[in-house]
Amino acid sequence: MGTASTPPALLPNDDSALDAQDTADDEPDTIAMKGTGSKSQRLPVRAKIEFTAIISEEAADPEKAGDFGITRFAKPTYKTRTIAREKGVFQVKATLASDIKIKVRAKHGPDGQTDIESDSDPAITRANYSMIVFDFTPYHGSNKPPCTHFWARDLTLKHERFHAGEDEAFAKQGTEDVQKQLNHVKKLDEETLQTMLDNTPDFVLGVVNVNMGDAGETRAYDDGIKSYQARADAIKAKGDSGTYPPPSPAQ
Ligand SMILES: [Zn+2]
């Protein structure tokens, strides 16, 4: 198998790791190999790696029974990936793409919650408006509205789009980080370079995962609080002034 230096299992997270690996070899092979095309020839890297998100939205039930909606970021794959030896450097050009899939329930919430799309939604009545106001008013100390009997599909979609936007931004950040690391390497052999490119999708996925989770959820609810509060306020104002009709016998 290849050279003594083992390529990182994942791309090292700081420039110094790569520089250290590079200098540890004392660069003997840079002069040992004449001509071009040798597998072990070590060259600087000039990398241009781009990331694209393919965001799709579906009116469908999330996998988890209790979820109103879900956003899934898929590990990126290469759409293009080339390495060329030009003017004494490895020219890397690559494009990564990830599917980001948003799913939001089509009509009812997970516990049969009624969708209230605006303050003039036909489902609002004189009898239920104060319950809707309660459901859309975020709890004290949390920006998450209870949504026990009522939900807002459009605001859920907005929440999921916020997640998708963050997924995309963190993936771009991870990709830029890889590009920067490659461009900072003094010299590298092609095998190591290929391994690093192989590891890049996992690295980018890792950057997204480490930045999302609970913190991402809090940011998404923080982003949505004004929209829920505005809807609750508008419904309360109309309800208090007697705008809504009495419940129909069918309800
Ligand atoms: Zn969320």
pLDDT in tens, 24-65: 343 333 333 344 456 678 999 999 999 999 999 999 999 999
Distance (Å) from CA 196 to ligand 1 centroid = 32
Lowest mean per-residue pLDDT among 4-13, 84-93, 149-158, 178-187: 4-13
* Mean of pLDDT over the chain: 87
Split at pLDDT 50, 70, 90, the class of 250 is: low
Check whether 107 has a pLDDT greater than 90. yes
Split at pLDDT 50, 70, 90, the class of 141 is: confident
Cβ 45 vs Cβ 90: under 8 Å: yes
Cβ 66 vs Cβ 113: under 8 Å: no
**Which residues 6+ apart lie within 8 Å of 82 measured at CB?**
91, 92, 93, 94
Distance (Å) from CA 229 to ligand 1 centroid = 17
Segment 195-209, tens digit of pLDDT: 999 999 999 999 999
Distance (Å) from CA 195 to ligand 1 centroid = 34
At residue 244, what is the residue type? Y
pLDDT at residue 40 in the model: 77
| Encoded tokens for 8 | 């990182």
Residue 71 or residue 19, greater confidence: 71
Distance (Å) from CA 217 to ligand 1 centroid = 5
pLDDT at residue 108 in the model: 97
Split at pLDDT 50, 70, 90, the class of 91 is: very high
> What separation in angstroms does the CA of 3 have from each of 28, 29, 62, 163, 192?
13, 11, 47, 42, 9
Distance (Å) from CA 160 to ligand 1 centroid = 6
pLDDT at residue 39 in the model: 65
Mean pLDDT of 105-109: 97
Distance (Å) from CA 175 to ligand 1 centroid = 24
Distance (Å) from CA 214 to ligand 1 centroid = 9
Mean pLDDT of 9-23: 43
Mean pLDDT of 101-120: 97
Check whether 132 has a pLDDT greater than 60. yes
pLDDT at residue 14 in the model: 44
In the chain, what percentage of residues exceed pLDDT 70?
Answer: 84
pLDDT at residue 38 in the model: 60
Q: Which of 100-104, 135-139, 214-218 has the highest mean pLDDT?
A: 100-104
Distance (Å) from CA 177 to ligand 1 centroid = 26
Distance (Å) from CA 176 to ligand 1 centroid = 26
188: alpha, beta or left, given left = phi > 0 and alpha = psi -120 to 50? Answer: beta
Distance (Å) from CA 68 to ligand 1 centroid = 9
Distance, in Å, from the CA atom of 126 to the CA atom of 115, rounded to the nearest integer, reads 17
Distance (Å) from CA 149 to ligand 1 centroid = 19
Distance (Å) from CA 71 to ligand 1 centroid = 8
Check whether 70 has a pLDDT greater than 60. yes
Distance (Å) from CA 66 to ligand 1 centroid = 12
Strand partners, 100: 55, 73
Distance (Å) from CA 170 to ligand 1 centroid = 16
Residue 1 or residue 208, greater confidence: 208
Task: Look up the pTM and report it.
Answer: 0.83
